[in-house]
């Protein structure tokens, strides 16, 4: 069981197929302070280890999804602090993609710099029509180098470079066209649409989804021959699962499967 815990910067709601993790620094537009990122990492790792939920929704309270790093804690610091800050930021992003559960970002308002990185890192993104995305670090003398990693893996090279070099916002519709988000919906529907997408994912075997998510990210950077060799082994292993056998039998027998997560 995921233990009860009170956080300073986030809210956690579990107990069902879908876990809700809400960034809760509305006055700071959910800027990612060091403590905030450490809380997100701890919460997500506990969700992954507990295995009680099949999907995670990541969202933000207040007027924005996430405005990037908290610049107020980045003035006149020693190099060791900056290295620590970006180490933790990278750990957060890697935690999201290594989590067995798919993570769906529910984006409203702005997602800028590390906030854009956060959205791009999530497995899926549902955005409200008024949402906007940007990597504006170049405008303040701090190029969005770590956000670049997630951004350049989500959108094409030319669009990624344009966003990084100009720092200008793109709309939710343009983000959809460029592959940064999966769905754009009216503001008053973003929560229900995100929940519906999460519920659809939760219909599948959590074990199989976790294996598939891990394989997806591992094969992305492999040459085609190596990717096929790797995924062939993954699929052969997957076929031996009780859930795979149950799913195939249920399909042939025209009934709903009963997952055992084994």
Residue 90: in which H helix or E strand, if any?
A: helix 79-98
Query: Is residue 22's pLDDT more than 60?
Result: yes
Instruction: Say if residues 39 and 10 touch (Cβ distance below 8 Å).
Output: yes
Instruction: Say if residues 152 and 120 touch (Cβ distance below 8 Å).
Output: no
Closest C-alpha to 69, from 170, 175, 123, 142? 142
Structure pTM?
A: 0.95
Residue 5 phi, psi (nearest 5) = -150, 140
Task: Tell me, rounded to whole angstroms, the distance of Cα 146 from its chain centroid.
Answer: 15
Tell me the pLDDT of the chain averaged across its residues. 96
Share of the chain above pLDDT 90, in %: 96
pLDDT of amino acid 5: 67
Residue 156: band (very low, low, confident or very high) from pLDDT cuts 50, 70, 90: very high
Cα–Cα dist 114/111, whole Å? 8
Q: To which CATH superfamily is domain 206-252 assigned?
A: Lyase 2-enoyl-coa Hydratase, Chain  A, domain 2 (1.10.12.10)
Q: pLDDT tens digits for 72-95?
A: 999 999 999 999 999 999 999 999
pLDDT of amino acid 103: 98
**Which part of the chain has CATH 1.10.12.10?**
206-252
Its CATH architecture, for the domain 10-201, is: Alpha-Beta Complex (3.90)
Lowest mean pLDDT, pick from 1-5, 25-29, 98-102, 195-199? 1-5
CA neighbours closer than 13 Å in the CB half-sphere of residue 27: 2
For the segment 115-138, the average pLDDT, to the nearest whole number, is: 98
Q: pLDDT tens digits for 198-253?
A: 999 999 999 999 999 999 999 999 999 999 999 999 999 999 999 999 999 999 99
**Which part of the chain has CATH 3.90.226.10?**
10-201
């Amino acid at each position: 069981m995921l233990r009860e815990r009170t956080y300073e910067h986030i809210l956690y709601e579990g107990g069902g197929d879908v876990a809700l993790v809400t960034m809760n620094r509305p006055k700071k537009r959910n800027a990612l302070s060091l403590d905030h990122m450490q809380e997100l990492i701890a919460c997500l790792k506990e969700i992954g280890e507990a295995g009680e939920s099949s999907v995670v929704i990541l969202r933000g309270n207040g007027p924005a999804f996430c405005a990037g790093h908290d610049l107020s804690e980045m003035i006149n610091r020693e190099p060791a602090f900056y290295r620590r800050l970006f180490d933790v930021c990278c750990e957060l992003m890697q935690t999201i993609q290594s989590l067995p559960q798919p993570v769906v970002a529910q984006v409203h308002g702005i997602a800028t710099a590390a906030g854009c990185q956060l959205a791009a890192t999530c497995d899926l993104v549902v955005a409200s029509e008024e949402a906007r995305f940007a990597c504006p670090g170049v405008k303040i003398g701090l190029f969005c180098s770590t956000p670049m990693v997630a951004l350049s893996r989500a959108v094409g090279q030319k669009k990624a470079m344009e966003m990084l070099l100009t720092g200008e916002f793109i709309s939710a519709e343009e983000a959809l066209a460029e592959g940064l988000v999966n769905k754009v919906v009216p503001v008053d529907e973003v929560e229900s649409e995100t929940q519906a997408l999460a519920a659809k994912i939760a219909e599948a075997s959590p074990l199989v989804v976790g294996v598939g998510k891990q394989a997806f990210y591992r094969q992305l950077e492999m040459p085609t021959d190596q990717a096929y060799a790797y995924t062939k082994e993954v699929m052969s292993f997957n076929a031996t699962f009780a859930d795979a056998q149950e799913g195939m039998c249920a399909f042939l027998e025209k009934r709903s499967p009963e997952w055992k997560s084994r």
